[in-house]
């Protein structure tokens, strides 16, 4: 029986889809419960931990599937593909959410953000207006999706590099 080489990219797609669904689920829960509008952050921090764990888990499963062999390059491929696929899943959801599900949500968030800024006695109306221009510019679903994709790819690279360094196959006799 011949050993078939496992492709890191193809292997990672399913893990990326699952991780993408996890962030979509967290986002839906935050929206439905009102946490998103209130600016509650702990579910996002929870996702960051899940993201880290998922990258390590996917790399370890790839190594297991690959008969115990793992190179740093394979680890990076697995981690980056998982991260990018999950970001694309979330990006599609984010665009659908902002254009179909609740097109007014972004303006509601902007209003809440403005109110919170004005509660700060050190912020003048002028400073708030300037800050809101920046917030508005970066609140486009397309910009947010690109930003999420870039951050996910970066952290996928970083975490998979660490995972690969920890789990890589050591040469015999070393």
Report CA-CA distances (Å) from 125 to 106, 110, 141: 21, 15, 26
Q: What is residue 173's predicted lDDT score, i.e. its pLDDT?
A: 47
Whole-prediction pTM = 0.85
Q: What is the pLDDT of residues 106-128, one digit of tens each?
A: 888 888 888 888 888 888 888 88
What is the average per-residue pLDDT within 27-37?
A: 93
pLDDT, position 128: 81
Q: Average of pLDDT values for 89-117?
A: 90
Does residue 154 carry a pLDDT above 50?
yes
Band of pLDDT at residue 4, cut at 50, 70 and 90: low
Residue 8 has pLDDT above 90, yes or no: no
Give the distance, in angstroms, between the CA of residue 145 and the centroid of all CA atoms in the same chain.
Answer: 10
User: What is the residue whose two structure tokens read 């062999």?
Assistant: 69
Angstrom distances, CA of residue 54 to CA of 8, 22, 96, 134, 150: 15, 11, 25, 33, 18
Cα torsion for 47, 162, 79, 39, to the nearest 10°? 20
Residue 168's pLDDT band, with cuts at 50, 70 and 90, is confident
Rg (CA), the chain: 20
Average of per-residue pLDDT values in the chain? 89
Task: For residues 170 and 117, give the distance between their C-alpha atoms in angstroms, rounded to a whole number.
Answer: 54
Q: Is the pLDDT of residue 89 over 90?
A: yes
Distance separating alpha carbons of residues 44 and 158, to the nearest angstrom: 19
Cβ neighbours around 19 below 10 Å, total: 28
Q: Calculate what percentage of the chain has a pLDDT beyond 70.
A: 94
């Amino acid at each position: 029986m011949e050993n078939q080489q496992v492709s890191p990219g193809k292997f990672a797609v399913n893990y990326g889809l699952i991780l993408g669904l996890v962030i979509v689920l967290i986002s839906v829960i935050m929206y439905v419960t009102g946490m998103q509008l209130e600016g509650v952050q702990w579910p996002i921090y929870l996702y960051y931990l899940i993201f880290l764990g998922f990258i390590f888990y996917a790399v370890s499963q790839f190594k297991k599937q690959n008969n115990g062999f793992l190179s740093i390059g394979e680890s990076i491929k697995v981690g980056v593909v998982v991260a990018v696929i999950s970001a694309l899943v979330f990006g599609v959801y984010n665009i659908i959410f902002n254009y179909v599900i609740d097109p007014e949500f972004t303006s509601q968030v902007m209003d809440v953000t403005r109110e919170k800024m004005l509660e700060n006695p050190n912020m003048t109306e002028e400073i708030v207006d300037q800050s809101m221009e920046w917030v508005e510019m970066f609140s486009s679903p397309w910009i947010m999706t690109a930003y999420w994709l870039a951050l996910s790819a970066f952290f996928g690279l970083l975490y998979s590099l660490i995972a690969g360094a920890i789990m890589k196959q050591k040469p015999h006799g070393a």
